[in-house]
């Protein structure tokens, strides 16, 4: 097991900067998800940790050891590829035995280790099956087993679930998380699927355009996004953001949203921060943390679309820049054309600087 | 009722299919089966175009398999066959190993790759007869090959390449390797590029060195394409003729007389066509065995890959 430190890690391909001075510490035994849209630099980061690519500048440390110049075969890293990269011309047993065999382990040693890992992953009955006709969850186990047999300090997983059909993903997620508990290795998991990151990771590193946006536990990232990108990216649908300007009212500090009216008063801690601020802000709140305001004190907006997806109802409100989505647990009886007044739960309101997009911290 | 209509319908479908493909089947019959049967027929006669009979009347010259018994005792035939085998055993592995080495080189990027690639493929585009003249000139005793050897050794070299029985065979094989290594290279490169990169990376991460990666991942993945490439070259090389014939004419003496050259001479000089048909049929059987073996192998790998 080993902690990972990324220090000012940068990777450029010609003029294109794939990763910009990334600093990240991953604790020993931690499950860290690198989350972001495609092209955000998450795979580049992973490939550099594995040694498949050399950083343009910056360092990667495993524990205290600098990995610069250490070839990928010697890093003690287990890598699970997006398509698992199982050796299809071999049997499951040959796949599992590959690492030890290449390092010249004795036959008895190989048999012992393959036996142990197959038992652990429940692959024993499949050992002599050809690896090209296995179902995807077996492939995942073989891929993990093939790396795990080398007892790597670090496990890297590159979107292993992206080729799996949606119905099966939940099963695979559970299995993967259980496997991590078994092996207790440091795991770095690259994904663009926030559901995977939220459900499995201890912490999430959200990335965009080669820049690390925020690192935190799934709930931290969800509840307190560091900036507008994270606010929009995390959550389905993402956070509502409305442009406005702080204003004083008789009920306390509010935000003047222009044609949409005035927001309910902000909580005191936020109000204190905002009084010192200048310029436009973005008023943000999660679609799940919205209530209908019968007293019309909320934001009155026309209903433009209603999505009923069984357990939840997503109501789209407003048009143009000032659109809001609201998620309700039950069918609230709104239909297109009606006007609804919605108010975010006071504690769930987040405010961002409109110019920089950075969250304005309370207090 | 259902059980009875279904086979009936299927029969009708099959009958319609047969009628629709009949013209094509007749055509195929004429192209492949007819010449073969004609050959078989002539091969048991003494017929020749000078015999004054139409080939269909060749039965009048029936010689009760004498062609085949003659063939079994024909020392010139057997030595031509042996020579062909020697050429094949040298040329095909040489072309394969060179092609594989070049393919491995070209699987990675290096400066000027595209230009070298085009240059490398050029020999294959040269008309074999022209290649024959090229090598005929190169291997003259006052030719460039000797010039180069002279400047390398520092003393004048005047080897009579094409008049020495052993050297002539070597010269012919060099020409064949020059011309057909590119084909091997091209096929093997296609196979090499098709090896999944992820699996190679996975092997690297598991600690395999380049040689181990090559033997445990790359070669097994290329098995089918290697069999195809070898089969193509074995069959083609067995029929080696044009380049060779222009370079040496099968000589000196019979030193470079391969099966094709032998057949050509028997056909055009001796004009005993019944005998030629027997030789050609014997070779067809040999080549068919090679092809069947290769195809079986391919079918098996394909089954495993599916």
CA distance B110 to chain A (A): 17
Q: Is the pLDDT of residue B98 over 90?
A: yes
Contact: B205, A89; criterion CB under 8 Å: no
pLDDT tens, position by position, B174-188: 999 999 999 999 999
Non-local (6+) Cβ contacts of A3 within 8 A are A25, A26, A27, A28, A30, A62, A63, A186
Percent of chain A whose predicted confidence (pLDDT) is above 70: 99
On whether any CB of chain B is under 8 Å from the CB of A267, the answer is no
Q: At what angle do helices B144-153 and B128-138 cross, to 10 degrees?
A: 40
Per-residue pLDDT tens digits for A150-200: 888 888 998 888 777 777 788 878 888 887 887 788 899 999 988 889 988
The per-residue pLDDT of chain A, averaged, comes to: 87
Q: Flag whether the ipTM exceeds 0.85.
A: no
- CA–CA separation, B208 and B196 (whole Å): 16
Q: Give the separation between CA B306 and CA B302, rounded to whole angstroms.
A: 6
Query: Smallest CA–CA separation between B301 and chain A, in Å?
Result: 10
Q: Is the pTM of this model over 0.80?
A: no
Is residue A21 within 8 angstroms of chain B, CB to CB? no
Q: Is A39 helix (H, G, I), strand (E, B) or coil?
A: coil
CB-CB neighbors (< 8 A) of A162 in chain B:
none
Residue pair A34/A4 in contact by the 8 Å Cβ criterion: no
> How far is residue B246's CA from residue A206's CA, in Å, rounded to a whole number?
71
Q: Look at residue A10 and give its three-state secondary structure.
A: strand
Q: Which residues pair with A62 in a beta bridge?
A: A4, A65
Q: What is the pLDDT of residue A190?
A: 92
Are A79 and B209 in contact (CB < 8 Å)?
A: no
- Show the low-confidence residues of chain A (pLDDT under 70): 1, 295-296, 362-363
What is the reported pLDDT for B1?
46
Q: Cβ neighbours of residue A275 under 8 Å, at least 6 residues apart?
A: A246, A253
What sign for the dihedral angle of Cα B196, B201, B204, B210?
positive
Comparison of pLDDT for A306 and B272, the residue scoring more: A306
Q: Does A147 sit within 8 Å of B205, measured CB to CB?
A: yes
Q: Give yes or no for residue B2 having a pLDDT over 60.
A: no
What is the per-residue pLDDT for A188?
92
Sheet containing strand A203-208, edge to edge, reads A77-80, A154-158, A186-191, A31-35, A203-208, A211-216
* Mean pLDDT, rounded, for B280-287: 85
| C-beta atoms of B202 and A79 within 8 A | yes
Q: How many residues does chain B have?
A: 306
The reply to whether A184 touches chain B by the CB within 8 Å rule is: no
- Strands A211-216, A312-317: pairing is unpaired
Residue B5 confidence (pLDDT): 56
In angstroms, the separation between the Cα of residue A56 and the nearest Cα of chain B is 20
pLDDT at B306: 41
Q: Does A146 touch chain B (CB under 8 A)?
A: yes
Q: A193 at the B interface (CB within 8 A)?
A: no
**Chain B residues with beta carbon closer than 8 angstroms to that of A89:** 220-221, 223, 304
- Chains A, B: CB contacts within 8 A come to 63
Tell me, rounded to whole angstroms, the distance of Cα B261 from its chain centroid.
Answer: 15
In sequence order, the 6+-apart residues with CB closer than 8 A to the CB of A37 are A192, A208, A233
Closest partner CB to A103 (pick from B204, B207, B304): B207
- Whether B209 has its CB under 8 Å from any CB of chain A: the answer is yes
Whether A81 sits inside 8 A of B198 (CB atoms) is yes
Helix (H) or strand (E) run with residue A344 in it: strand A339-344
Q: What is the pLDDT of residues A111-165, one digit of tens each?
A: 998 988 888 888 888 888 888 888 888 888 888 889 888 888 888 998 888 777 7
Decide if B5 touches A, using CB distance below 8 A.
no
Chain A residues within 8 A of B199 when measuring between CB atoms: 85-88
- Locate B273 and state its tokens: 């066509």
Contacts of residue B209 in chain A, CB cutoff 8 Å? Answer: 73, 102
Q: Which two tokens stand for residue B289?
A: 């065995």
Task: Cite the beta strand spans of A218-338 per DSSP E.
Answer: 240-249, 252-256, 281-285, 290-292, 299-309, 312-317, 324-328
């Amino acid at each position: 097991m080993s902690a990972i430190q990324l220090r000012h890690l940068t990777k450029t391909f010609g003029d294109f900067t794939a990763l910009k001075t990334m600093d990240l510490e991953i604790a020993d035994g931690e499950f860290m998800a690198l989350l972001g849209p495609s092209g955000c630099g998450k795979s580049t980061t992973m490939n550099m940790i594995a040694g498949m690519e050399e950083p343009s500048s910056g360092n990667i440390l495993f524990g205290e050891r600098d990995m610069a110049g250490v070839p990928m075969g010697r890093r003690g890293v287990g890598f699970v590829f997006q398509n698992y990269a199982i050796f299809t011309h071999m049997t499951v047993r040959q796949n599992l035995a590959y690492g030890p065999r290449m390092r010249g382990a004795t036959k008895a040693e190989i048999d012992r280790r393959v036996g142990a890992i197959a038992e652990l992953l429940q692959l024993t009955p499949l050992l002599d099956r050809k690896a090209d006709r296995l179902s995807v969850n077996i492939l995942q186990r073989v891929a993990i087993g093939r790396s795990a047999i080398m007892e790597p300090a670090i496990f890297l997983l590159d979107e292993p679930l992206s080729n799996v059909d949606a119905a099966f993903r939940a099963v695979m997620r559970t299995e993967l998380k259980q496997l991590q508990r078994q092996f207790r290795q440091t795991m770095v998991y690259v994904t663009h699927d926030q559901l995977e990151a939220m459900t499995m990771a201890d912490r999430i590193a959200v990335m965009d355009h080669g820049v690390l946006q925020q690192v935190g536990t799934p709930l931290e990232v969800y509840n307190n996004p560091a900036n507008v990108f994270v606010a929009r990216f995390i959550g389905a649908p993402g956070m509502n953001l409305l442009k406005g300007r702080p204003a004083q009212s008789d009920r306390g500090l509010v935000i003047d949203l222009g044609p949409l009216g005035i927001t309910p008063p902000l909580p005191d801690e936020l109000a204190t921060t905002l009084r010192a601020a200048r310029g436009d802000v973005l008023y943000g709140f999660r679609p799940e943390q919205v209530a209908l305001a019968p007293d019309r004190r909320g934001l009155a907006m026309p209903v433009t679309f209603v999505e009923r997806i069984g357990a939840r109802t997503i109501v789209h409100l407003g048009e143009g820049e000032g659109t809001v989505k609201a998620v309700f647990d039950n069918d609230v009886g709104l239909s297109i054309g009606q006007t609804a007044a919605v108010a975010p739960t006071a504690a769930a309101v987040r405010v961002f600087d409109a110019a920089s997009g950075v969250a304005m911290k309370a207090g | 009722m259902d059980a009875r209509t279904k086979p009936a319908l299927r029969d009708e479908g099959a009958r319609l299919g047969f009628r629709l493909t009949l013209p094509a089947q007749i055509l195929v019959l004429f192209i492949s089966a007819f010449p073969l049967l004609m050959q078989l027929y002539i091969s048991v006669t003494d017929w020749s175009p000078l015999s004054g009979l139409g080939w269909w009347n060749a039965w009048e010259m029936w010689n009760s398999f004498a062609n085949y018994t003659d063939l079994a005792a024909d020392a010139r035939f057997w030595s031509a066959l042996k020579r062909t085998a020697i050429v094949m055993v040298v040329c095909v592995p040489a072309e394969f190993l060179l092609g594989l080495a070049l393919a491995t080189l070209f699987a990675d990027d290096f400066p000027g790759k595209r230009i070298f690639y085009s240059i490398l493929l050029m020999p294959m585009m040269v008309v074999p007869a022209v290649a024959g003249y090229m090598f005929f000139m190169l291997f003259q005793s006052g030719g460039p090959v000797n010039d180069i050897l002279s400047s390398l050794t520092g003393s004048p070299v005047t080897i009579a390449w094409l008049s020495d029985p052993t050297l002539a065979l070597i010269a012919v094989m060099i020409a064949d390797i020059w011309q057909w290594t590119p084909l091997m290279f091209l096929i093997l490169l296609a196979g090499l590029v098709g090896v999944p990169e992820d699996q190679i990376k996975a092997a690297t991460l598991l600690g395999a060195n380049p040689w181990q990666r090559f033997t445990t991942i790359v070669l097994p993945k290329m098995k089918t394409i290697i069999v195809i490439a070898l089969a193509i070259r074995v069959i083609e090389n067995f029929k080696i003729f044009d380049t060779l014939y222009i370079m040496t004419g099968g000589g000196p003496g019979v030193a470079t007389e391969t099966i094709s050259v032998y057949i050509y001479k028997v056909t055009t000089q001796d004009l005993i066509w019944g005998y030629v048909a027997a030789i050609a049929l014997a070779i067809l059987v040999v080549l068919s065995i090679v092809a069947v073996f290769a195809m079986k192998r391919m079918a098996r790998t394909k089954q495993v890959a599916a």
